[in-house]
């Protein structure tokens, strides 16, 4: 495999895979991440799971081309259904919405017995993932935010531990913004929430222009509350 095929986003995900892990990459698409992880010596065995036939075939082809069939098993199935209990020690799920990631973890709880680390990269809805981790005895141990090709991505890393630990202060805000990201205040993080704030403000203006106050008053207030939270917590 040409390593340039691996995006910066997935390269960053790969840095959080513990060396020696049995990796399960769910929604693996072309299996670039498990191929990279094996070739870099991060893991010696990996499972590439894909629910759609086309990407499943692409993943199989990629593994064959890189001659990694002995180390990477490509499987067709929904979410964690591709695993047997206690098989994987690290699970990566990248490039999906937070609701879908949380659903995959929730529906596959019986496959998490031997898992020591989750590396999750939601495209949207990171707060949904944080809530799931908090409610299911996973401690958020680190976060990263990055921008690539004009899109902003967050990476969440979780391990077995004390779920409430990262949220000791400002729990509600930290679930929304991310406790580690709030502390780091990276320029990409501030850019993300500035863009979110502007987006919400546009929606409110559109509501007001259409004069749908009765139908949208609760939604309008919800957006106003979100804007206020961004301004108070982040000063933007």
Other beta carbons within 10 angstroms of residue 72's beta carbon come to 25
Helix residue spans in the chain (DSSP H): 8-15, 32-39, 53-65, 98-107, 126-135, 171-177, 179-184, 187-210, 213-234
Q: Is 224 found in the same domain as 118?
A: no
What is the Cα–Cα distance from 71 to 89, expressed in whole angstroms? Answer: 15
CA distances to 193, 194, 199, 218 from 208, in Å: 22, 21, 14, 13
In a domain, 213, yes or no: yes
Give the orientation angle of helix 32-39 with respect to helix 53-65, to 10 degrees: 20
Please indicate, yes or no, if residue 172 is contained in any of the structural domains.
no
3-state DSSP of 148-190 = ECCEEEEEEEEEECCCCHHHCCCHHHHHHHCHHHHHHCCHHHH
| Nearest alpha-carbon partner for 79 in 116, 106, 97 | 106
Residue 214 is predicted with a pLDDT of 53
Same structural domain, 151 and 202: no
Confidence class for position 127, pLDDT limits 50, 70, 90:
very high
Domain's final residue, options 165, 180, 199: 165
Q: Is the CB of residue 140 less than 8 Å from the CB of residue 183?
A: no
- Asked if 139 and 196 sit in the same domain, the reply is no
For the chain, what is the domain count?
Answer: 2
Q: Which among 108, 103, 101, 100 has a CA at the least distance from the CA of 84?
A: 108
pLDDT digits (tens, 9 = 90+) for 63-106: 999 999 999 999 999 999 999 999 999 999 999 999 999 999 99
Q: Which domain holds residue 115?
A: 3-165
pLDDT digits (tens, 9 = 90+) for 205-229: 988 888 655 556 888 899 999 999 9
| Closest among 159, 23, 169, 26 to 96, alpha carbons compared | 26
Q: 96 and 53: one domain? A: yes
Helix (H) or strand (E) holding 24: strand 21-26
Q: How many CB atoms lie within 10 A of CB 158?
A: 27
CATH code, 52: 3.40.50.150
Structure tokens at 68: 């990694």
Domain C-terminal end among 114, 132, 165 = 165
- Measured between alpha carbons, how far is residue 91 from residues 88, 96, 194, 198 in Å? 7, 14, 31, 35
* The pLDDT of residue 218: 86
Domain assignment present for 20: yes
End-to-end alpha-carbon separation of the chain, Å? 43
Same domain, 111 and 148: yes
pLDDT tens digits, residue range 137-190?
Answer: 999 999 999 999 999 999 999 999 999 999 987 678 999 999 999 999 999 999
What is the pTM for the complete model shown? Answer: 0.92
């Amino acid at each position: 495999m040409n390593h340039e095929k691996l995006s910066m986003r997935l390269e960053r995900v790969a840095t959080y895979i513990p060396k020696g892990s049995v990796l399960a990459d769910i929604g693996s698409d072309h299996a670039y991440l498990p191929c990279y992880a094996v070739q870099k010596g991060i893991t010696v065995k990996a499972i590439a799971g894909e629910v759609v036939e086309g990407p499943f075939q692409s993943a199989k082809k990629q593994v064959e081309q890189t001659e990694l069939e002995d180390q990477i098993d490509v499987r067709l199935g929904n979410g964690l259904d591709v695993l047997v209990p206690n098989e994987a020690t690290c699970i990566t799920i990248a490039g999906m919405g937070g609701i879908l990631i949380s659903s995959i973890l929730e529906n596959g709880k019986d496959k998490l017995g031997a898992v020591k680390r989750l590396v999750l990269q939601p495209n949207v809805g990171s707060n949904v993932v944080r809530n799931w981790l908090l409610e299911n005895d996973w401690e958020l141990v680190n976060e990263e935010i990055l921008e690539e090709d004009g899109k902003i991505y967050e990476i969440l890393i979780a391990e077995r531990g004390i779920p409430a630990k990262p949220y000791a202060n400002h729990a509600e805000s930290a679930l929304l913004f991310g406790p580690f990201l709030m502390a780091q205040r990276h320029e990409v993080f501030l850019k993300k929430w500035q863009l979110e704030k502007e987006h919400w403000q546009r929606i409110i203006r559109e509501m007001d222009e259409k004069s749908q106050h009765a139908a949208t008053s609760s939604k309008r207030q919800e957006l106003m509350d979100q804007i206020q939270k961004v301004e108070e917590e982040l000063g933007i």
